[in-house]
Amino acid sequence: MLLILALALLLGAEGYFGFRLHQLSDQQEQIKKDYSGINNITYGLFSVQQWKDNVSKIVHHQVGNLKMTKKQKKVLQTEVEQVLLALINKAEALVNKPKKTLSGKIQKFAIKNFVNSDSIKAQVPGFAKKIIAEVDNPKNKKQLSKMAIGEFNEIANEEKKDSAFVANAAAIKTMYQKYQVSSTDVLNKKLVASLAEIRTKTYGYSFGMLACVVVVLGFWWGLRKRRDLHVTLFVMSLFFAFILLAVGLTASMIEVDARIRSLDFVLLGEHVMFKDQVLFFQSKSIMDVVRVLISQPGIDSILVGVLILVFSILFPVVKLSSTGIHLLGNKRLAENGVIKYFAFQSGKWSMADVIVIAILMAYIGLNGLLEGQLQALNIKNDSLTILTTNNTALQPGYIIFISFVLYGLILSTILKFITPHDAH
């Protein structure tokens, strides 16, 4: 009774840790989806509205703070004078052109007799100075700034009419309301802080579950000579295995996250920067993978999903159940061919250990592939800097599933030594 009580308390602790781990895993996945959505490259680097906001700030600043040196004013004066003289010469050529109509001839006579082109040309330097003074006027600078960003506003307004933009704007607004924020920067800070807190807790609960299993194995070592307690201890040990399996199947095992960490380039002498532009994000548990595969229209995907479901999920459940029935049942039931097969021989058909290796290899392969592809995007020079990052990582669910596989192997070995029936 003391053993059952102690293991029941320990089982309750493992169940609580597993439940909280499952909750936090779902919460973390949802927050990361929201973070990846709000920072998706579609809303940043590929958004006309974002470019308009960044460039308009630079144009306002550059035009509003335009200051010309004496040398620059001198060069500009020469350019303006040349333009004005060219206009006067063009006007003279038009006037001197032969006229066929009476009104044309009268206009030509009046201009030639009452307008002195040399006098006008002499005033060109004065006109040029006045033009430069007007350009340097703060009021006119403001007007120039408005004119300069007029095109950006038109483009941005065109984008606002697009149905995709309207849908994206609505999604962003919904996200702001969900987290009770008013800007993307505030939302990002809130999400990053939440993810850091959740990550710490999930690993804490994961290690808590593993500690419970280690304590159970400690009981086996301490009570290895108490044969009268072995059946009770084994049955209770099976409950620990079921909890490990349930959490390992439903908690996220791997997430793929590729993003442009920073894109910085110089425009009109000022920096334009885009940060954390998410290119791709996915987070999946084993159950998620099965669900996705079975829901596909292709027969090959459905077949793979069914195989994973049968050999990696149903087989372990039936195997654990069969070991309990073999140990607790009467001799006839315990030595039933099906029960004995699943209790002692089905391990070679179970793909749980294969899934563990497959996920590890997929992680290594994806990690190397993404690292190589993103590394090729990295650029560093005086005018452009692109830094990419690969946040692909294994999740606590993977650790729990590995623990279940190893723990199941240990229980199978223990069963062969403690069974009162034929194990062959």
pLDDT digits (tens, 9 = 90+) for 337-357: 777 777 666 666 666 666 666
Burial group, residue 232, by CB count within 10 angstroms (0-12, 13-18, 19+): middle
Whole-angstrom Cα distance, residue 298 to residue 262?
A: 39
Q: Does an H or E element contain 153, and which?
A: helix 150-161
Range with the poorest average pLDDT among 198-212, 286-300, 325-339: 325-339
Q: What is the pLDDT of residue 65?
A: 58
Whole-angstrom Cα distance, residue 420 to residue 424?
A: 12
Q: DSSP letters along 169-184, please?
A: HHHHHHHHHHHT-SSH
Whole-angstrom Cα distance, residue 346 to residue 415?
A: 14
Mean pLDDT computed over 82-106: 70
| pLDDT above 70 for 22 | yes
Q: What is the pLDDT of residue 156?
A: 56
Percent of the chain with pLDDT over 90: 11
- The residue with greater pLDDT, 24 or 128, is 24
Mean pLDDT computed over 93-106: 65
Q: What letter would DSSP give residue 349? A: T
- The residue with greater pLDDT, 153 or 85, is 85
Percent of the chain with pLDDT over 70: 63
Say how far residue 111 (Cα) sits from the centre of its chain. Answer: 72
Residues 6+ apart with CB under 8 A from 184: 38, 39, 172
Q: What is the pLDDT of residue 201?
A: 92
Confidence of residue 206 (pLDDT cuts 50, 70, 90): very high
Whole-angstrom Cα distance, residue 262 to residue 387?
A: 5
Q: What is the pLDDT of residue 370?
A: 54
Whole-angstrom Cα distance, residue 356 to residue 111?
A: 95
Q: What is the pLDDT of residue 143?
A: 67
Confidence of residue 21 (pLDDT cuts 50, 70, 90): very high
In total, the chain counts a number of residues equal to 424
| pLDDT above 80 for 411 | yes
Whole-angstrom Cα distance, residue 81 to residue 59?
A: 27
Cross-strand partners of 385 = 264, 380
| pLDDT above 60 for 160 | no
Mean pLDDT computed over 181-209: 89
- pTM exceeding 0.85: no
Whole-angstrom Cα distance, residue 29 to residue 249?
A: 15
Q: What is the pLDDT of residue 101?
A: 67
Per residue in 26-39, pLDDT (tens digit) is 888 888 888 888 88
Residue 278 contacts residue 259 (beta carbons within 8 Å): yes
Per residue in 45-67, pLDDT (tens digit) is 666 666 666 666 666 666 555 56
Whole-angstrom Cα distance, residue 384 to residue 265?
A: 4
Three-state DSSP state, 421: coil
Q: For residue 270, report the phi and psi dihedrals to the nearest 5 degrees.
A: -125, 155
Q: What is the pLDDT of residue 165?
A: 63
Whole-angstrom Cα distance, residue 25 to residue 247?
A: 10
Identify which of 245, 250, 258, 382 has the alpha carbon closest to the alpha carbon of residue 314: 245
Mean pLDDT computed over 72-101: 74
Q: What is the mean pLDDT of the chain?
A: 76
Q: Alpha helices, DSSP H only, in 39-99?
A: 48-64, 70-96
Joined together, the tokens standing for residue 331 give 């001799």
Whole-angstrom Cα distance, residue 290 to residue 308?
A: 7
Q: What is the pLDDT of residue 164?
A: 60
Residue 16 contacts residue 123 (beta carbons within 8 Å): no
